A = this chain, B = another copy of it.
Amino acid sequence: MAHDPARSAAIAAELRARIIGGGLQPGDRIRQEEVAAEFGVSRIPIREALRILESSGLVTLVASTGAWVTELSLEECREIYLMRERLEPLLLSLAMPTHTQESIAEFDQLAEVVEQAASPGDFLEADREFHRAVMAVPGTLRLSETVDHLWNLSHYYRRRLLSPEVSRRREDIVAEHRMILRALELGDVDSAEAIMAAHIRHTRRLVEAHPEMFARDRNGEER
């Protein structure tokens, strides 16, 4: 137990979970030694873990200076949503041929879970689960990874958004999920893509309406 190989991957996963979960917030500095002490390892696997997280964009490394949880500007967040608007319809279109009556029934269940989520946290979790399931494709490693990274990057802001705006947007989201499911049932790829794009675009609009969540483009560090 003293020497797990690839311990860095496990540490990266734990740190990622903390960032997604909100334990570590954008702008927070990550000191190698602190984390090393906490996990009871040396700084080497921490460095590797930070590089892994940097590669997905969750952490920003500055040479000889330090590591911070990536803080998005409004423009960057907008960019991420724009990418999602293009990539997720593609991923969905690739996933559709693999769907069956049974899998669509499961998606229906997942949509139900979203609708009945009690807390904002549950809602986000269920929403992500729904999207992940609907767009799951066995083969497409890079594409689904990329999409996953984009979700991770914007997760924090999605949660902040959900708190004040819960009621109205939730209904929209639920309705859009139902529309996506309907397109899946019909096997209508074009409609599914279009609705998915609109679904993401609507959330982007909401993000753009709340610029106060973001750092002023490159200044104003130290949350």
Contact = CB atoms under 8 A, between A and B. Distances in A.
B75 A139 contact: yes
A54 interface: yes
B64 A143 contact: no
Interface string A1-31: 0000110010000000000000000000000
A5 B66 CA distance: 12
A63 B139 CA distance: 21
A146 B83 contact: yes
Given A54-B55, A63-B6, A64-B5, A79 B142 contact: yes
Contacts of A52: 51, 55
A47 interface: yes
Contact of A47 (B48, B64, B75): B48
B5 A79 contact: no
This chain's copy number in the assembly: 2
A99 to B, nearest CB: 18
A55 B59 CA distance: 13
Interface in A54-87: 54-57, 63-64, 75-76, 79-80, 82-83, 86-87
Interface of A: 5-6, 9, 44, 47-48, 51-52, 54-57, 63-64, 75-76, 79-80, 82-83, 86-87, 89-90, 94, 139-143, 146
Given A44-B44, A55-B55, A75-B139, 4 more contacts: A51-B52, A76-B141, A83-B87, A83-B142
